[in-house]
Structure 1
Amino acid sequence: MTLKEITAKVLGMDANKINGKTSRESTSEWDSFNHLLLVSEIEKEFDIKLKMDEVNTIKTFADLEKILRTHGK
């Protein structure tokens, strides 16, 4: 699965509506529970372990993309 597909699945959204500006503030489905679920699914799919400070900095889909790049994914 791609990052966008995982995000869409966890948030129950259409993947075509997700872009770099999709954020926790503008997306009611992106609550604290789904935030942790999203992190868990990303860790499993991409075989990485995010640090708590990384998890706490995620505010937008673009942040997720940036973190994956820092992990070489």
Structure 2
Amino acid sequence: MSRRLYGLIARVMDIDISIINDNSSPETIPSWDSFNSYVLLDELETEFKTEFSIDEVVETKNVSDIKNHLKHHGIVLDD
């Protein structure tokens, strides 16, 4: 688990970090709606000092996808 990433997601979605895993998605987290998706994107770009392409945003379906995109941008997570 990446505490930094999961903590950010938990804060944006207003949920407990313990329920987040790599398969977490809008289908499994009720508060992960279109608005919070934009908030999450902004928070991710700010926290990790990167910018995601439109394709990356559209392709992102779950936490695992976010991790892969961060890795692609050279960001090493603590897991």
TM-score range (shorter-chain normalised) is over 0.9
Per the alignment, residue 65 of structure 1 pairs with 67
Partners of 1:66 and 1:47 lie apart in 2 by 16
How large is the Cα RMSD of the aligned pairs? 1.1
What amino acid sits opposite 2:6 in the alignment?
Answer: K
Provide the TM-score with structure 1 as the length reference.
0.94
**Consecutive unaligned residues in structure 2, runs of 5 or more:** none
Moved beyond 2 Å, runs of 4+ = none
Per the alignment, residue 14 of structure 1 pairs with 16
Per the alignment, residue 56 of structure 2 pairs with 54
Per the alignment, residue 39 of structure 1 pairs with 41
Partners of 1:67 and 1:40 lie apart in 2 by 14
Helix, strand or coil: the match of 2:29? Answer: coil
Residue 52 of structure 1 and its aligned partner are, at CA, apart by 0.9
User: How many corresponding residue pairs?
Assistant: 73
Provide the TM-score with structure 2 as the length reference.
0.87
The percentage of counterpart residues that share the same residue type is 36
